[in-house]
Structure 1
Amino acid sequence: MPETLLRLHFLSLLLLSSCAFLSSSSTIDVDDVVVGLVACLPRQIEAFTQFTNEFDTRSCNHSDYSNNGAWCDNSTGAVTKIHLTGCLSGTLKPNSSLFGFQQLRHLVLSNNNFISSTLPSKFGNLNRLEVLILSSNGLLGEVPSSISNLSQLSILKLSKNKLIGSFPLISNLTKLSVLSLSQNLFTGTIPSSIFTMPSLFYLNVNDNHLTGPHEVPDSSTSSSLEFLNLGKNQFEGKILEPISKLINLKRLDLSFLNISYPIDLRLLSSLKSLLDLYLSGNSLLATSLSADSDIPPNLETLVMSYCDLNEFPNVLKTLNNLRGLSISSNRIKGKVPEWLWTLPSLSTVLLGNNYFNGFQGTRKVLVDSSVQMLDIQSNHFEGEIPLPPLSLNAFYARNNTFTGNIPLSFCNRTSLTVLDLSYNNFTGPILQCLNDFKIVKLRKNNLEGNLPDSIPDMLYNGSLLRTLDVGYNQLTGKLPRSLLNCSSLRFVSVDNNKIKDTFPFWLKALPGLQVLTLRSNKFYGPISLPAEVPLAFPKLHILEISDNNFTGSLPSNYFVNWKASSLETNDDGRIYMGDYNNAYYIYEDTMDLQYKGLFMEQGKVLTSYATIDFSGNRFEGQIPESIGLLKALIALNLSNNGFTGHIPLSMENVTELESLDLSGNKLSGTIPKGLARLSFLAYISVAHNQLIGEIPQGPQFSGQAETSFEGNAGLCGLPLQGSCFAPPPTQQFEEEDEEEGVLNWKAVVIGYGPGLLFGLVIAHVIASYMPKWFVKIVGPDKHKEADPASLFDSLDSRWDSSSNHM
C-alpha cells in the first residue's frame, strides 16, 4: 500500500503547527506546500507528538529526516511506520501513547536509552505489526506472553538488552522470518518447535545463558532455517546431532559454546548447503581435521580461532570453494604448507598469533595465489619475507623477525592498499612507493635513509595515503613536502628517528590530519608563527613533539583555532581512527603514549579525546591561557621545559583531563584550587618548579605520590610532610603585577602578651589564564595486536544489521 512519510522529526513537531509529507519517491522541504498528497490525520499528528514528548529528545539529530520520523498511509492518513533510533531517553511507559497507533505495521525503536523500562504487555495490542525492532535499548525483565498475539510479525529483533527469563513464546508466529535475541540474559532451552517454524530462516540467540540439550524434530527436513547463531551460551549434551538435521543451513555459528567435549566436525557432513561455519573458542576433535575427514563440502568461510589447534588442519585440502579462512590465535608450529596457496578460491587468510616459523616452498610460493588479504602477524617467521601475491589488497606481517630489505615487488601490487610490516628487523631504504598505499606501518625496524619526497603520479592524481607510521627506525633528512599532496592523510608518526627539520606548519593545509607524532628526533626552532598568529590545524587532536630541540614561547591564543577541542562519537561512545568497523581492514593506528607517568602503547587510537606532549624541549614563557578551550583533552605533558608564570586557572575547564605533568619548569604562584574539581584527574606532577602555598585538598591530590610535588620549597600540605601552618621560611616573594590578578603569599605574626603568640597566615591567590590541549606519545616494548577474527565478527554484524531493512 502506498505510504507518505510524515516529516515528523521531533524538532519539527514541537515547533511547527503543520507538517509536510514525503512520498516514497520524492523529497519535499518542510515549508513546501504539498498538493495531491493525503495528509496524516490531525489526531495522528497529535498522537505522535504526544509520544515523542514522553522522552528527552535533545540528543536527536534533527537534520536526519531520512532515518527518523513517521510514515502515514496515503489513503487513510494513519501512521503505519515509526522509526526513532539513537535519540530517545526516558522510560517506556506501560500505558504509552505509542500503543494507540492501531494501524502500525513497522516499529523501529533501537539504540535508545529506555531508563528502567520493561517490555510493556500492550505491544500485543499492535496486532498489525510486521516489523518490531527494539535492539540496544537497555530493556529489562521478561518478554510478555502477549508478544504471541502479533500474528503478522515477520521481523522481531530484541538483541542487546537485559531481558531475562525463558525463551519467548513465539512459536505460533507463522510469518516470522527473522528472530534476533542475542546479547541478553535468557535462560533455559530453545523449544524444539522453533526449528520447524515455516517461515523462520534467521535465528540469532548468541551471547545468552541458554542451556541444552535441545531437540530438533525429525520433520526438520522442512525447516527454513538458513542462518543459525548459537554461540556464547552454555549448551551441554550432543549439540551437533540435532543441528545436523537442519539441512538447509547456510550459515552456522557455534563459537564459544563452553561445552566440555571436543566438537567432531564429521557430524555436520549432512549439511551440504552450509557455506559459513564459525567454531572459534571450542575444542575440536583432532581426527575430524585430518585430510580424509568428511565435513561440509561446500564451505566458503571457516573460522577456527582460539581452538587450541597444535597442527595445521589438513582437512582444508578438500575445500575447493573455501574463500575465507581463520586459524588465528592457536598454537600451530612449523611451516605453512605449500598446498594451502593452491586452493583456487582462497581470498582471505588469517594465520596470526600462532608459532609459524616459515613457508614451505620457494620465496615465490605466494605469488600466484588468489589471496587478497593475508594476516601472518605475531608469529615466529624469520629470514626474508616471501614475495607477495599478485592479487594482494592487504598484508599484515607485524611482530615477526623478518630480515633483509623490503621487496620492491610490493610497489608492483597495484591493488595493495594496506601494508603493515612493523615490529620486524627489516633493513635498507624505505620503499619509494609509500604514497601509493592507504595504510603504511613500518614501525620498529632498522630502516634507514630519507622518506621519499616525490612521486610523479601522486603530484597529478593525489594520494590515498591515510596512515604513515615509520617510528623507531634510523631515518634521516627532512619530512617530505610531498605529503601535502596526501589530502586524505590522518595519521603521521615519525617518532624516534634522526629527522632534522623545523616544525611542519605546512601540514595545517591537510584537512583531515588528526594525529602528528614527531617525538625524539632532531626537530628545532619555534612552533608558533610570527605576530602571535594562532596555530590552525582543522582536526588535529593528538600532537606529540617531545624530546626535540623546539624553542621559543607560545602566544596566549595558541590553541584558539584548534577545531577538534570537542569531538563527536559513534553509538558506543567512541570513534576510531582506522576502519575498525570495516570487514576488510583489521589494522590499528597505534602510538606510544606517556600517560599517568607510565609508558605504554595505545592501540586503536580514539578520536574522542585529545592529547598533547611538548615535554623535553626548550620552551619558555607562559603556558597559553587558551589551553582551557580544549574540552576533549585527557592528557597534557609540558614537563622539562622552561615555562614560567602561573598555572593557568582556565585549566580547571578541561574537565576530561586525566593526566597532567608540568614538572621540571619554572612555574610560580599557587596550584589552582579548581584542579581539585577535575573528577577524572588521576595523575598530576608539578615537581621541581617554584610553586608556593597549600596543595589543593581532595582525592585527586591526596592520592598522588609525594614525588609529584617535590622540589617546590614553598609548597605545603598533603601529600607532603609537615603542616601549612608552621612558621613560613624566611623567604621573600615578589608581589605580582595587579594586572595579573595575583596576590602572593604573606605571613603575619601577631604577638600580644607574654607567653602568648598567635600566628595568622593569610594566603590569597587569583590567577587568570586559559589553556587548550596537547598530549604525549612514547614507546613501549609490548604491543597489542588487533584480533584477526574481528574480520568475520564484522561480517556477522553486517548480516545481522541488514535484516533491519527487510
Structure 2
Amino acid sequence: MESSIYVCLLSILLFCHIIPFTHSFNSSFQPRCHDDESSALLQFKESFIVNNTFDDCYPKVESWKLVKGERGDCCSWDGVQCDEETNHVISLNLANSCLYGSINSNNTLFRLVHLHTLNLAWNDINLSQIPSQVGRLSRLTHLNLSFSGLSGQIPQQIFNLSRLISLDLSLCFHGLKLHKPSFKDLVQHLTNLKVLHLASMNISSKVPELLANFSSLESLSLSDCVLQGEFPVGIFQLPNLKILDLSYNRDLKGYLPPFQLKSALKSLILSGSNFVGELPSSFGNLAYLEELDIDRCNFTGKIPYSFRNLSKLVYLDLSHNHFSSSISSFSWVGNPNKITTLRLLGLNLTGEIPSWLMNLTQLSEVNLGRNQLTGPIPSWLMNLTQLSVVYLGFNRLTGPIPSSLAKLSKLELVYFRNNQLSGKIPFQIYNFTSLSELALSSNELHGSIPSNISQVKNLEVLDLQSNNLVGSVELSSFLQLKKLTFLTLSFNSLTLITKTSTNASTPDFLVLGLAFCNLTEFPRFLHNQDMLESLDLSSNNIKGEIPSWMCSISTNSLDYLNLSHNLLTGFEKDPAVLQWAKIRILDLRYNRLHGSFPLPPQSTSSYLISNNKLVGKVSALLCNLSALEILDLSFNNLSGRLPHCLGNLGDSLSLLDLRRNNFNGSVPSTWRNGCKLKMISISYNQFQGQVPRSLAKCSSLELIDFGNNHIIDSFPSWFRNLEKLRILILRSNGFFGLIDRPQTKGFSNLRVIDLSHNNFTGKMPSTYFEMWDAMKVINASLMTYMEDSMFPHDWYNPFTNYGQYDYSMIMYNKGLELEYRKIPSILTAIDFSNNKFEGEIPDIIGNLQQLYLLNLSNNLLNGHIPSSLANLTELECLDLSRNMLSGKLPPELSKLTFLSSFNVSYNQLEGPIPRGNQFDIFESNQYEGNKGLCGAPLKKKCENFEASPQERSNVVEDDDTGSVFEFKWMIVLIGYGSGFIFGVVVGHKIPRKKHDWFVKTFGRKRQHRSQRVNRRRSRS
C-alpha cells in the first residue's frame, strides 16, 4: 500500500518536471507569431524612419527584432497583439511611435489581413493618401489614422470595412477629402459605427439624415469639416450619443431640440457653427453633461433656469452669443461645484464681477473678457485657490490690481488688457512663481515697473504697453527672464536703458514692443535675435542710418517691423531688396529716409514708407509683389511714370496712397474684374489724361482722391455704380462740362464730394442731391473712423492699439487747407466752389440734414438763398461767397447753432443780417461786397428794423460766463513741415491716456468755442 502511494507520488513529481521542460522546448522552437506576419511587420518597420525629434513619442518598433527564444515572438513586440487561439496578429497599435515616412499600396501592412485594430495616430505619414489596399483589412473593427499627416481623397475601398465600429481620421491637417465617395456614401456602408471622428476633413456637404438612425452611435466628431445645410435634429435624440462635436462649421445651420430625460450626452461642442434660436428649457435633462461649448454661435434669449441641474458640468463656454441675460442671470453657475473652466466672453454683460463666483471652488479658469463689466477686481478671487487663468480683458474695470492675487500659487495667466485699471503694478508680483503670462496693457496704471520683475522666472509674456508707467528701466532686468518671448513696453513714459553686451545671453524673443521708449539707437541685444516675428521700435529718437546688422536679424521669421516716427536717414548698405524673407508688414513712415525707393520682399502685404525724402522712380519690380494689400508712398519726392502693371495688383491691393509726390503720366488703367481696391489717393501729383474707366471694376472702392493733378475729363458719372463709395475728391483738375442727369440711382453712400477748382458748368446737379442718402440721416451716436486693418486675418495682432491703417485726405474747411489724418465716419461735405455753376441753389439741399460743410463759393449762382438751408442743423461751415445771389438772408439761418464759419461776401444781398446764436460772432468781412446788407457787425444800420422776439431769445451767453452749447468740432493747428493744417473730430470719447498721447503727438487740447478757435487761428 505504502509502496503504491510512493510510486504514485513519484510519477506526479516526474510529470511536474516534464511539463515545464516541454513548454520551454516548444517556446524555443515554435514561436506563436506566424512567419509571414513577422516578416510583414519587419518590412513595414523598414519603410519608415524613426524620428526621435517628435515631441513625447516612444519608438515602439525599435523592439521589433528576429532572435531565437521569447524575444523573437512578434506577438510580444511593443504595439503588437495576437489572437490567443490562432496566433494571428489582430491588433497593431503604433500611436505616437515617432514614425516618419509614406504608405503606398505595396506596403506589407496590408498582408496583416487578420487585423481587428489598426492605430497609426500621431505619426508623420508624409502626405500619403490612404491606399486602396486598406480594403483588404476587411476584419477591422477599429481604425485610427488621426494626426498622421495623410492627404487626398478617401478611397472607395474603405467601404469593405463593414465591421468597423470605430473610425478616426481626424486632424490630418494636410487635407483629407470625402467628396467622391461622399459622406453619405460612407455612412450608408459603415452602419455599425459607434465612433466616427472626421475632424478637419474636407467634406463640403450636408450631414446625412441617415446618421439619425445610428442607434449605437456614441461619439461623433465633425469639427472643421466645411459642413453645409441644416444639421439633422434627430441626431441629438440618439439614445447612446455621449460626444457630439460640430465646431467650426460656419455654414452648418441648426437649432437645439428639447432634450430627453435620459440623454447620455457628456460633451456638446457647437462653437463656431451657425446654430440659432433659444436654448431649450429642457437643458437641465442633460444630467450627465460635463462639457458644453457654444462659443460664437447665434443663440438668443435667456439662459434657462434648468441649467442649475447640470451638476456634473466641468467645462462651460457660452461666449460670443446674443443672450438677453445679465451677469446676475448666470448665478445658477454657482450651484455646480465641479466647474473648472468658465468662459462668458463677449456677451455684453454689465455690472460688477459677481460674488457667486466664490462658490466655484474648483475653478481653474475664469474668462469674462470683452464685456462691459465695471467696478473693481474683487480681492475675494484669492479664495479660488485652484485658479490658473484669470481673463478679464476688454471691460471697464476700475481701481487697483489687488495685491492679494499673489497668493494664488497656481496662477499662470493674468489678462487684464483694455480696462481702466489704475494704481501701481503690485510689488508682490515676485510671488507669482507659476505665472507665465501677464497682460496689463491699455489701462491707466502708473508708477514704475517693480524692480523684482526679474524674479518671476516662468514669465513668457509681459504686456505693459499703453499705460502711464514712468521711470528709467534697465533692459537687463527683462533679459534675465530666460523664458520670456513676448515683451511690450510701448506708449508709456519710460526710458529704456539698453546697455547690454551683444555677447550676453538673452531670451529668444518672438514679439518685442519698444515704441515710445526714448531710444536713441538700435538696441544692441537685437544682434542675437533670430526668431523675432514682431518688432516695434516706432516713435523713438533713433537717428542716422539703419545698420547692416539690423537688416540681417530674424531674416527667416520676421513678420512685422515698425520703425516709423524716428529720425532715420537711410540704410548703411543700400539694399536692392530688403532681406526679411517672410515679412508682411513693414512700416517706415515719418522718418528722413532719402535716396531711391527701397523694394520690399515679395512676402510683403503692407508697405508704408510715406513722409520721407525718397526720390527717383518706382521700379516695375514692384508689380511682382503679388501679396501686396496696402501701399503708402505719400509725401515723398518720387517722380516719373508709375509702372503700367500696377493695376495688375488689383487682385490683392486694397489701399493705394501716392499723394504729394511728383508722379506724372497717366493713372494706371489695367484694373481687372475682381479688383479689391478700397482706397486710391493720388492727389498733389502731375497725373494727366482721363480717369481710367477700368476703375469701375473695383466695386469695393470707398475713397477716390484724384485732387490737384492735370486730369482733363468730364464728370465720371459711372462712379455711381460703386455702391460703397463714400469719398470722392476731384478738386483742382481740368474737369469740365455739365454734370448730366444720371440714368440710374447711385452714390447712396457718398458722404464727401469735392469738385472745387474745375470747369464744371450748368445748373447745380439737384438730381444727385436726391441720391445722397448718407447725407440725410443724422447719426452721431457712435463716432468711428474710416480705417482698414494692416494685419492679415490669420495673424495674432499684439499691437491692436495702433494696428489700423487710417484713411486720410486733404480738404478746404473754414478757409484753411486741412489734412485729415483720420477721417470721421460722420463727416459729410459738399465743395463745388470755384467752378461755373449757374442758376439757383436747389431747395432740395435742405434734405441733407447730416451735412457739416457746404461750399458753393466762386460760381455764377443767382436767385435767393433758400430758407431750407436752416434744416441743415449739423452744418458748421457755409460758404456762398462770390456769386450773384440776391434777396435777404433768411432769418431762419440763426437756428444753425453749430455754424462756426459763414461767408456770403461779394454777392447782391440786401436787408438785415440775422441776429442771435452764431450770427453774433461773425465778423464784417464775411458780409462785405453786399451793398444792400445792414446791421451788426456792419457799420451800416438798418432803418425801421427791430429784431424779432425769436432772434432776441437766440442770443448766446458770453464765452467767459458760460455756454449754452458746445461745438462738436475742433481744429488743431500744428507746425507741419509742408505748412498744412491738421483737422480732427472729437465727437468721439477718447480714453484719457490715448487722448494725452494724441495731443502730445499731434497738437493742442480741444477748444469748445469758435471764438477760441478764431483767436488761436489769428495768433497762428
TM over 0.5: same fold?
Answer: yes
- What's the counterpart of residue 485 of structure 2? 275
- Alignment map for 1:8-27 (pairs within 5 Å): none
Once the two structures are superposed, what CA deviation does each residue of 1:601-652 show, in whole Å capped at 9, x if it has no partner?
A: 0123233332110001110111222222323322111111111222233323
- What's the counterpart of residue 913 of structure 2? 695
Matched, 1:336 2:546: yes
Check 1:272–1:762 CA distance in 2 against 1; reply closer, same or farther (3 A cut).
Answer: closer
The percentage of aligned residue pairs carrying the same residue is 32
Aligned partners of 1:484 and 1:264: how far apart in 2? Answer: 56
Matched, 1:292 2:510: no
The structural deviation recorded for 1:350 is 0.6
The structural deviation recorded for 1:467 is 1.6
Question: Which letter does structure 2 place at the counterpart of 1:645?
Answer: G
Give yes or no for contact 2:904–2:927 (8 Å, CA) kept in 1. yes
- What's the counterpart of residue 566 of structure 2? 354
Once the two structures are superposed, what CA deviation does each residue of 1:256-304 show, in whole Å capped at 9, x if it has no partner?
A: 5544532222223353433221011353443445423443x22111011
Aligned-pair Cα RMSD in Å? 4.6
What runs of 5+ residues in structure 2 fail to find an aligned partner? Answer: 1-217, 220-232, 237-244, 248-252, 262-272, 287-291, 311-315, 796-802, 952-975, 985-993, 995-1020
Aligned partners of 1:565 and 1:176: how far apart in 2? Answer: 52
- What's the counterpart of residue 927 of structure 2? 709
Matched, 1:665 2:875: no
Check 1:266–1:137 CA distance in 2 against 1; reply closer, same or farther (3 A cut).
Answer: same
Give yes or no for contact 1:434–1:440 (8 Å, CA) kept in 2. no
- Alignment map for 1:240-389 (pairs within 5 Å): 240-242=451-453, 244-245=455-456, 247=458, 249-256=459-466, 258-280=468-490, 281-295=492-506, 297-342=507-552, 343-344=554-555, 345-364=557-576, 366-367=578-579, 369-389=581-601
Give yes or no for contact 1:402–1:424 (8 Å, CA) kept in 2. yes
- Alignment map for 1:22-421 (pairs within 5 Å): 37=258, 70-76=278-284, 127=335, 130-132=342-344, 148-149=358-359, 151=361, 154-157=365-368, 163-164=374-375, 167-173=378-384, 174-175=386-387, 177-180=389-392, 184=396, 186-194=398-406, 196=408, 198=410, 201-204=413-416, 207-216=420-429, 218=431, 220-221=432-433, 223=434, 225-229=436-440, 232-236=443-447, 239-242=450-453, 244-245=455-456, 247=458, 249-256=459-466, 258-280=468-490, 281-295=492-506, 297-342=507-552, 343-344=554-555, 345-364=557-576, 366-367=578-579, 369-421=581-633
Aligned with 2:654 (options 438, 442, 450): 438
Give yes or no for contact 1:688–1:711 (8 Å, CA) kept in 2. yes
The structural deviation recorded for 1:224 is 5.2
Scaled by the length of structure 2, the TM-score of the pair is 0.58
Aligned partners of 2:948 and 2:529: how far apart in 1? Answer: 84
Check 1:547–1:591 CA distance in 2 against 1; reply closer, same or farther (3 A cut).
Answer: same
Question: Which letter does structure 2 place at the counterpart of 1:214?
Answer: F
Question: Which letter does structure 2 place at the counterpart of 1:653?
Answer: N
Aligned partners of 1:354 and 1:293: how far apart in 2? Answer: 27
Check 1:480–1:134 CA distance in 2 against 1; reply closer, same or farther (3 A cut).
Answer: closer
Larger radius of gyration: 2
Question: Which letter does structure 2 place at the counterpart of 1:357?
Answer: T
Give yes or no for contact 1:213–1:235 (8 Å, CA) kept in 2. no
Any idea what SS the aligned residue of 2:452 has?
A: helix
The structural deviation recorded for 1:111 is 11
Give yes or no for contact 1:487–1:512 (8 Å, CA) kept in 2. yes
Aligned partners of 2:451 and 2:282: how far apart in 1? Answer: 50
Aligned partners of 1:137 and 1:685: how far apart in 2? Answer: 50
The structural deviation recorded for 1:496 is 0.8
Aligned partners of 2:878 and 2:864: how far apart in 1? Answer: 15
The structural deviation recorded for 1:513 is 2.2
Moved more, 489-498 or 542-551: 489-498
The structural deviation recorded for 1:553 is 0.2
The structural deviation recorded for 1:199 is 5.9
The structural deviation recorded for 1:599 is 1.9
Question: Which letter does structure 2 place at the counterpart of 1:76?
Answer: G
Aligned partners of 1:103 and 1:581: how far apart in 2? Answer: 44
The structural deviation recorded for 1:431 is 2.3
Give yes or no for contact 1:21–1:39 (8 Å, CA) kept in 2. no
The structural deviation recorded for 1:83 is 11
Any idea what SS the aligned residue of 1:573 has?
A: coil
The structural deviation recorded for 1:504 is 0.9
- What's the counterpart of residue 769 of structure 2? 559
Question: Which letter does structure 1 place at the counterpart of 2:279?
Answer: W
Any idea what SS the aligned residue of 1:587 has?
A: strand
Any idea what SS the aligned residue of 2:774 has?
A: helix
Aligned partners of 1:554 and 1:714: how far apart in 2? Answer: 26
Give yes or no for contact 1:255–1:282 (8 Å, CA) kept in 2. no
Aligned with 2:639 (options 417, 427, 430): 427
Larger relative helix fraction: 2
The structural deviation recorded for 1:77 is 7.7
Scaled by the length of structure 1, the TM-score of the pair is 0.72
- What's the counterpart of residue 45 of structure 1? none
Higher RCO (C-alpha under 8 Å, 6+ residues apart): 1
Aligned partners of 2:500 and 2:981: how far apart in 1? Answer: 32
Question: Which letter does structure 2 place at the counterpart of 1:314?
Answer: R
Aligned partners of 2:804 and 2:892: how far apart in 1? Answer: 42
- Alignment map for 1:448-597 (pairs within 5 Å): 448-453=664-669, 455=670, 458-459=671-672, 461-529=673-741, 536-554=746-764, 556-565=766-775, 572-579=782-789, 586-597=804-815
Matched, 1:677 2:882: no
- What's the counterpart of residue 833 of structure 2? 615
Once the two structures are superposed, what CA deviation does each residue of 1:179-213 show, in whole Å capped at 9, x if it has no partner?
A: 31666563345324346353652421554212254
The structural deviation recorded for 1:413 is 1.9
Aligned partners of 2:750 and 2:567: how far apart in 1? Answer: 39
Once the two structures are superposed, what CA deviation does each residue of 1:409-430 show, in whole Å capped at 9, x if it has no partner?
A: 1112222222111111111112
Give yes or no for contact 2:258–2:283 (8 Å, CA) kept in 1. no
Once the two structures are superposed, what CA deviation does each residue of 1:28-69 show, in whole Å capped at 9, x if it has no partner?
A: xxxx999963599xxxxxxxxxxxxxxxxxxxxxxxx97997
Aligned partners of 2:677 and 2:729: how far apart in 1? Answer: 16
Once the two structures are superposed, what CA deviation does each residue of 1:349-368 show, in whole Å capped at 9, x if it has no partner?
A: 11111111110213325156
Once the two structures are superposed, what CA deviation does each residue of 1:365-408 show, in whole Å capped at 9, x if it has no partner?
A: 51564332211111111121223223222211101111111122
The structural deviation recorded for 1:168 is 4.0
Once the two structures are superposed, what CA deviation does each residue of 1:486-543 show, in whole Å capped at 9, x if it has no partner?
A: 22222211111111111111222223222211101111111132xx868732422211
Aligned partners of 1:465 and 1:195: how far apart in 2? Answer: 54
Aligned partners of 1:274 and 1:302: how far apart in 2? Answer: 10
Aligned partners of 2:901 and 2:235: how far apart in 1? Answer: 55
Any idea what SS the aligned residue of 2:383 has?
A: coil
What runs of 5+ residues in structure 1 fail to find an aligned partner? Answer: 3-19, 27-31, 41-64, 89-95, 729-758, 765-778, 787-792, 794-806
Any idea what SS the aligned residue of 2:928 has?
A: coil
Aligned partners of 1:511 and 1:182: how far apart in 2? Answer: 34
Any idea what SS the aligned residue of 2:844 has?
A: helix
Any idea what SS the aligned residue of 1:341 has?
A: helix
Once the two structures are superposed, what CA deviation does each residue of 1:673-723 show, in whole Å capped at 9, x if it has no partner?
A: 433333433322222223334333332222222322333333334444455
Question: Which letter does structure 1 place at the counterpart of 2:544?
Answer: G
